Amino acid sequence: MKTIEDLRKMAELNLCENCFQKYKMLIEPTIRDLLSNPLSDWSEVESHITQIVMKTKGIFKGKLIFISLDKGSNEKHSDKVDVKGFEATKTRSFKWKIDYLQKNGILKVSSYRVLDTAREVRNKIHDPYAPYSEHDRTLFHVANVITHQIWCATMIEMGEDTSNNLKSEAEKIAEQYLENLNY
């Protein structure tokens, strides 16, 4: 993989001065950000999985989705969310959450395998600024795409057919990813 400096040299050699300046101002910062924050996909995966578990367990009492609760929420939001269930679920391990979703038919075999593999990779990387391989970045991104599809199918009321299609597409993405790895 090329470094930012290598990319800049290539851009300078291949672009006119005006385009090169645009590259430095618009494109390079985006690339730098993407390379410096490979866990953004993973953070979304964890958040989506937690929300799906909470929805599946009936912790959200209505259409509102809570991502966090502050102190005193028990009285303030008790009609909208099971605060004790929220806190208990939030602290569960990612493995527990995906196992729960698989047992309840939310995650199919390939989706579960991709998420469990991503979990294992993430657990081996403790330094958020550690170098990630291209495979790791792709794995986290695919896990994010899969969980986003399932999140939409679970959290947004859009009809059973649409929901089933989203879950089916998520499983196809997972199957293709695993096939490409010869898993």
Confidence of residue 146 (pLDDT cuts 50, 70, 90): very high
Task: Verify that 16 and 66 share a domain, yes or no.
Answer: no
Indicate the average pLDDT of the chain. 85
The pLDDT score that the predictor gives to residue 54 is 92
The pLDDT score that the predictor gives to residue 1 is 42
Its domain, for residue 143, covers 39-180
Between residues 66 and 99, the one the model is more confident about: 99
Give one word for 145, left, alpha or beta, with left for phi > 0 and alpha for psi -120 to 50: alpha
Task: Verify that 77 and 156 share a domain, yes or no.
Answer: yes
- Residues 72-101 have a mean pLDDT of 84
Count of Cβ atoms closer than 10 Å to residue 87 Cβ: 13
Task: Verify that 106 and 32 share a domain, yes or no.
Answer: no
The pLDDT score that the predictor gives to residue 16 is 93
Task: Verify that 28 and 108 share a domain, yes or no.
Answer: no
23-64 tens-digit pLDDT: 888 888 877 776 666 678 888 999 999 999 999 998 888 776
Task: Verify that 18 and 66 share a domain, yes or no.
Answer: no
Number of domains in the chain: 2
Predicted confidence (pLDDT) at residue 97 exceeds the cutoff of 80: yes
Predicted confidence (pLDDT) at residue 144 exceeds the cutoff of 70: yes
Task: Verify that 82 and 155 share a domain, yes or no.
Answer: yes
Task: Verify that 99 and 67 share a domain, yes or no.
Answer: yes
Question: Burial letters for 158-176: b for 16+ Cβ neighbours within 10 Å, e otherwise?
Answer: eeeeebeebbeebbebbbe
Task: Verify that 63 and 92 share a domain, yes or no.
Answer: yes
Confidence of residue 75 (pLDDT cuts 50, 70, 90): low
Q: Report how far residue 43's alpha carbon sits from residue 116's, in angstroms, rounded to the nearest whole number.
A: 15
The pLDDT score that the predictor gives to residue 117 is 94
Task: Verify that 104 and 122 share a domain, yes or no.
Answer: yes
Task: Verify that 66 and 107 share a domain, yes or no.
Answer: yes
